[in-house]
Structure 1
Amino acid sequence: MAARNAMSNQERECLQKELATHQETAGQGYQSLHKDKEAVKKASNSTIITFDMMQNLPVPTLTHNSMFYLRQLWEYNFGVHDCTTDSATMYMWSELVAKRGADEICSCLMQYISNLPLQVKKLTCYSDSCFGQNKNFEMICFWNWQIVQGRFSQIDHKFLVRGHTYLPNDRDFSHIEKKKDTAVVYIPTHWEELVRKVCRQKPYTVKSMVGSEFKDFSDLVEQHTRRRKDSNKKDVLISKARWMNFGQGVDQHGREVKHLNEVWLRYSYSLDESWSKVSLLKGRKKIPPATSISLPIKYPNGHSILKTKVQDLKKMIPYLPEEHKQFYIDLRTSNEALHEVVIPRIAADWSLVADYLEYEVEDKKLIREKCHHDPLKCCVELLENWLSTNKGASPKSWSKLIEILRQIKILTSITEIIVQDLAKAGVFV
């Protein structure tokens, strides 16, 4: 019994030490934020921002009993708070427009940066450590690209400790949360109107994001290398990093050093800690990323939602005001997007439909006849069959469809159009 009590005491002491270290690190994070705020006030070429995603906002906000069993549409809100001017900008969109991943965060930040004064050359950012949105390799590539383009000379991105991430954005969001229970919202734009008016003393700037403003950063990421070892052959632990530095930084000896196409990492907020220096150059030849990269639109036809969710939303129509019913009547599923976006492109080429069906189906003669009488219907049946057998397919499995199309000697340009449209329509989600 005594040994058991002694062991529990040891475990208790260990946990208390871990808690003390955790709280100390969290305190250092807030101190760093405060010091950076004060430093920026003395530098006209610097600014400091914090950013965060708000909890999803439901649409519509009906109070009918049936709502408990039905899934609502989500409105997303990404907030950027300028600590220099103490102003907030909200980037808002619904899940019909885009998702809420790293591409979306980088797209919003790109919009924000485009509105910053050109004399701002040093940017300091604070955020939480959400891996899917803020603390990932895509964000590293995005910040490095801003340096390579010459937009900034130095970028510092610092991450607060989990559980202690109270940022100015949370204060901004609290004003919206207070109105959440009483808000009358029937369509996504109603939330945007509410957010514009929610803070009377210093109204928020609200930017309604559209599909063409969300970019696909995969080409940018491809021009960088994700390395597992730093310049000293030590493991690179992005998940544990508290501080990322790009462009130029001050080393532990107080010297200012320029470093292009490198990310410097620290695992604390201490100025005395040595940087973990990681090259981002592509491959063994150390190829630098291009200064100008074409970023394709990620959702040119919008982001389709699941059929079951659309069905739930349509069940709400009887409880909505007449003027807002059409919005829900017009909602389309992934399969409906297939018919509207993809099929019209393919149906125009009769030989394409016939050859495709002949390749895929055993009874070629019967399919030939069907295709001759109604090529559009046959094309629809074939594609729907492919989608049903490949339900939940990841982007990697698209290569299977590409290979099928190429084997039947379809022009590469047509192949790419078909596959891109399938992806954009959301039929693989």
Structure 2
Amino acid sequence: MSAATSEEEKRKIAVESELHHRKAEKAYTQLQSDTEWAKANADCHVISVDLQGVMYTPNLTHSNVYYQRQLSNFNLCIQELGKEDPAYMCVWHEGIAHRGSIEVASCILKWVKTKFTPLTKPEVRKLIIFSDRCCGQNNNWRMLNLMSMLISMGYFTQVEQKFMVSGHSFLPCDRSFATIEKRRKVSVLHTPDDVSKMILEAQPAKPFKVMRMQCEDFRHLPDSVLKRPAGLQITSVRWLKVTVEDPWNLYARQSHSLFEGWKSWLISKPKQGATPQPPYFASHYPRAYESPLPIKKNKRQDLMTMLNYLPAAARSFYKSLQSE
């Protein structure tokens, strides 16, 4: 506001700020409403999905290694709302996988297969995913393909994704992350195994469920089975939906308002002159990584300088890491 050079510019900024906050409030209202609906309906499942900030190991404080590069550990939280189940924490490190759309989609798929079995007619089951707008992880065509694939596999009859407003994307996962961070600050974390144990013990009254992701868990899930309609900007919509009744169309809304009509987009790839068919997904997808990922050479050298300050088991782990 202070950067505005005229009253007109100040008014414009104030109006835009007010509109931005109203959109954020609408998103939180939707989150609360869907949570209440999930409490009252066993066939509705609402989750928030978010990646925690990177946790580094080993977390040594010795002055000789304080500025050395450490191993990056990742944690994707999948927290179900309106149910009694604890949050799932999917953990891995940089020697196993990266932290992009493949990893997020693979974690969600493993969570679904862990929690549910395919439906039998006339059963119905709805999944609503709340996430931030991060394009490289959550708001992308691989996630949309996953939503459609979960319909095709028979796990759900309807899948929706709703995006929080940038700058106001505090999700229930963040409360869980705060609990983990509080525990992390008083924990000695030599290896990724210590990170998993720390997360497991961070909330004794209702322990988190820790899913240790391995190389074979990350699959090269598709991002191009669905047709990408001209004119559809998935990074500009607030609400996406796919259904078993109309699997060849994607439904989108520009806001979280229930009064806004859905706009449908054809996402199947029909042959010329043929009737559109539901998207076809393979029953199996290859591993995203055939072997452990090599870490940077300089980082491995730094890790090797820390070995003298670590117990034998931790030394063996770091020596086993592949490097470039």
Same-fold status (TM-score > 0.5): yes
- 2:288 aligned residue (275, 285, 298): 298
Q: Tell me if the contact between 2:248 and 2:277 (Cα under 8 Å) persists in the aligned partners.
A: no
Partner-residue secondary structure (3-state), 1:66: coil
In 2, are the aligned partners of 1:40 and 1:48 still within 8 Å (CA)?
A: yes
Q: Is the 8 A contact 1:144 1:262 kept in 2?
A: no
2:43 maps to 45
CA distance in 2, matches of 1:145, 1:331: 34
Aligned residue-pair number: 313
Distance in 1 separating the partners of 2:216 and 2:4: 63
Per mean C-alpha deviation after superposition, the further-off stretch among 286-295 and 15-24 is: 286-295
Q: Is 1:236 aligned with 2:232? A: yes
Any idea what the Cα deviations from partners look like across 1:153-192, whole Å, max 9, x if unmatched?
Answer: 1111101001111111111111111122222011111000
Q: Which residue of 1 aligns with 2:268?
A: 281
Q: Which residue in the other structure is 2:316 paired with?
A: 326
Structure 2 counterpart SS, 1:125: strand
What do the CA deviations read for 1:106-150 (whole angstroms, capped 9, x no partner)?
A: 111011111234466111111111100100011001101111222
Offset at 1:291? 4.3
Q: 1: distance between equivalents of 2:13 and 2:4?
A: 14
Determine if contact 2:4/2:10 at 8 Å carries over to the other structure. Answer: no
Q: Distance in 2 between matches of 1:310 and 1:282?
A: 46
Partner Cα separation in structure 1 for residue 70 and residue 78 of structure 2: 26
Distance change >3 Å, CA 184–CA 120, structure 1 → 2: farther
Residue 161 (1) aligns with residue 161 (2): no
Aligned to 1:312: 302
Do residues 139 (structure 1) and 143 (structure 2) align? yes
Q: Which residue of 1 aligns with 2:218?
A: 214
> Which string of whole-angstrom CA distances, capped at 9 and with x for unpartnered residues, describes residues 44-83 of structure 1?
2111111110001111000012334311101110111111
Tell me the SS of whatever aligns to 1:30.
Answer: helix
Shift of 1:283: 6.1
Contact 1:223 1:288 in 2 (8 A): no
Partners of 1:108 and 1:317 in 2: how far apart? 32
The Cα shift of 1:204 comes to: 0.6
Q: Deviations over 1:225-271 (max 9, x none)?
A: 2222xxxxxx31211111011106xxxxxxxxx32122111110011
- Secondary structure class of the residue paired with 1:259: coil
CA separation in 1, counterparts of 2:80 and 2:4?
51
**Is the CA contact (8 Å cut-off) linking 2:184 and 2:198 kept in structure 1?**
no
Residue 284 of structure 1 deviates from its aligned partner by 5.6
Partner residue of 2:65 out of 64, 67, 73: 67
User: In the alignment, which residue of structure 2 is the partner of 1:124?
Assistant: 128
* Higher RCO, Cα 8 Å, sep 6+: 2
Aligned partner of 2:246 among 251, 254, 259: 259
Choose 180-189 or 105-114, whichever is displaced more. 180-189
- Structure 1 distance, partners of 2:303, 2:47, is 37
Q: Aligned pair in 2 of structure 1 residues 42, 329: CA closer, same or farther (>3 Å)?
A: closer
Q: What pairs up with 1:22-421 in 2 under 5 angstroms?
A: 22-86=20-84, 87-118=86-117, 121-217=125-221, 220-228=222-230, 235-247=231-243, 258-282=245-269, 285=272, 286=276, 288-334=278-324
What is the percentage of aligned positions where both structures have the same residue?
30
Judge conservation of contact 1:102–1:139 (CA < 8 Å) in 2.
yes
Cα separation, 1, equivalents of 2:255 and 2:129: 15
Which whole-Å deviations, capped at 9, do the CAs of 1:76-112 have from their partners, x for residues lacking one? Answer: 1011111132421111111111111111111110111
Asked if structure 1 preserves the Cα contact closer than 8 Å seen for 2:143 and 2:223, the reply is no
Q: How far 1:275 moved relative to its partner?
A: 1.8
Contact residue 47 and residue 81 of structure 2 kept, 8 A = yes
Q: Could you tell me how far 1:8 is from its partner in structure 2?
A: 1.4
2:223 is paired with a residue of what secondary structure?
Answer: helix
Secondary structure (helix, strand or coil) at the match of 2:17 reads helix
Backbone CA RMSD of aligned residues = 1.9
Residues 141 and 224 in structure 2, CA contact (< 8 A), matched pair in contact too: no
Structure 2 CA distance for aligned equivalents of residues 261 and 106 of structure 1? 21
Larger % of helix: which? Answer: 1
Counterpart residue identity of residue 210, structure 1: Q
Relative to structure 1, the CA distance from residue 322 to residue 41 in structure 2 (aligned partners, 3 Å threshold; closer, same or farther) is closer
* Change beyond 3 A, Cα 1:203–1:8: same
Cα distance, 1:329 vs. partner? 2.1
TM-score by length of 2: 0.91
Contact 2:240/2:252 (8 A) holds in 1: yes
Task: Determine the C-alpha separation between the residues in 1 that align with 2:229 and 2:68.
Answer: 45
- Cα distance change of structure 1 residues 318 and 124 upon mapping to structure 2, 3 Å threshold: same
Whether the 8 Å CA contact 1:149–1:292 is kept in 2: the answer is: no
Task: Please state whether the residue corresponding to 2:64 is helix, strand or coil.
Answer: helix
Instruction: Quote the Cα distance in structure 2 between the aligned partners of 1:127 and 1:19.
Output: 22
Deviation at 1:207, TM superposition (A): 0.8
Q: Give the 3-state SS of the residue equivalent to 2:127 in structure 1.
A: strand
